[in-house]
Amino acid sequence: MWLADNWKDYEVLDCSGGEKLERWGSHILIRPDPQVIWDTPKTEPGWKKPAAHYHRSSKGGGEWEFFNLPAQWNIHYGTLTFQLKPFHFKHTGLFPEQAVNWNWFSDKIKKAGRPVKVLNLFAYTGGATLAAAAAGASVTHVDASKGMVTWAKENAVCSGLGEAPVRWIVDDCVKFTEREIRRGNRYDAVIMDPPSYGRGPKGEIWKIENCIFPLIRLCAELLTEKPLFFLVNSYTTGLQPAVLAYMLGTALKKYRGTVTADEIGLPVKTSGLILPCGASGRFEGRRDQ
């Protein structure tokens, strides 16, 4: 398992009964997690005094119960700064487990010895975009939500990357990729973090099990002759690491490199165990290309 264990401003304190107890900076949150199917004693003090608690509804969705959580606050990861705020469906604006991938591709960008152009699809609030830009890459950041792109721009400014070479694009990721192919644009690396289900700005329907492999194949057409890396993330239970590896190995078979895939996770303070948080597939181009 690939473990995001370098955080100082975030940690999973405990997890039990379908929920996880987290510290985001100085604020303690309780949020649901479908992976937490065990029920153990909740002895960690934070369970009794959270700053906010997201309650799932038996009818789907849910709502926040606030105690003393500010409307917005910041946390840091290395040189990066992220603005957080609670919003619909339990999210805070950041997936901290992705830091293990940020570290991986940042190292590759720094050691590439050449300019690196990165395409980041379903780019959300910009965690991967900022990590890549901080490592020295030029990044095209694409998300269908104008609000998420605006949030990502604010994170860039907070991180001292307001003038970094980032193109901020509000668009459907598939349609943008198709247009980039027609325009003849090419990228050294691709990052994608697709949702299980979603809609584009014009009502386009995205179902990951039907759409992800065609999109990976499309993105393969955008790669330069010597691609640096290709990263695919998934939070969908059915897309196991081996499935991600198979798709990358099939779509990128003409390129020289290696494909690996694994679960990603976060350490849990009270138990010393690992909370699984989805899976990632990685293609790594050969350095002697």
Q: What is the pLDDT of residue 72?
A: 97
CA distance 75 to 56: 25
SS3 state of residue 110: helix
Q: What is the pLDDT of residue 201?
A: 62
Q: CB-side exposure of 213: number of CA atoms within 13 Å? A: 11
The structure tokens listed for 197 are 């289900």
- Report the sign of the C-alpha dihedral through residues 47, 50, 56, 57, in that order: positive
DSSP string, 147-190: HHHHHHHHHHHHTT-TTSSEEEEES-HHHHHHHHHHHT--BSEE
- DSSP lists the bridge partners of residue 23 as 11, 28
Using alpha carbons, list the distances in angstroms from residue 240 to 30, 190, 206, 229, 236: 27, 20, 19, 20, 8
CATH topology of domain 2-72: Immunoglobulin-like (2.60.40)
Q: What is the pLDDT of residue 205?
A: 76
Contact (Cβ atoms closer than 8 angstroms) between residue 223 and residue 255: yes
Give Cβ neighbours of residue 72 (< 8 Å, ≥ 6 apart).
83, 84, 85
Q: Which residue has the tokens 């790669």?
A: 223
Burial annotation 108-122 (CB, 10 A radius, 16+ → b, else e): bbeebeeebbbbbbb
Q: Domain spans of the chain?
A: 2-72, 96-285
Contact (Cβ atoms closer than 8 angstroms) between residue 31 and residue 18: no
- DSSP secondary structure letter of residue 220: H
- DSSP secondary structure letter of residue 42: -
pTM as predicted: 0.94
- pLDDT digits (tens), the chain, 289 positions: 999 999 999 999 999 999 999 999 999 999 999 999 999 999 999 999 999 999 998 777 899 999 999 999 999 999 999 999 998 789 999 999 999 999 999 999 999 999 999 999 999 999 999 999 999 999 999 999 999 999 999 999 999 999 999 999 999 999 999 999 999 999 999 999 988 877 766 677 777 888 899 999 999 999 999 999 999 999 876 789 999 999 999 999 999 999 999 999 999 999 999 999 999 999 999 876 5
Q: What is the pLDDT of residue 289?
A: 55
Q: What phi and psi values does residue 180 have, to the nearest 5 degrees?
A: -65, -35
Contact (Cβ atoms closer than 8 angstroms) between residue 113 and residue 176: no
Its CATH architecture, for the domain 96-285, is 3-Layer(aba) Sandwich (3.40)
Contact (Cβ atoms closer than 8 angstroms) between residue 101 and residue 128: yes
First to last CA, the chain: 28
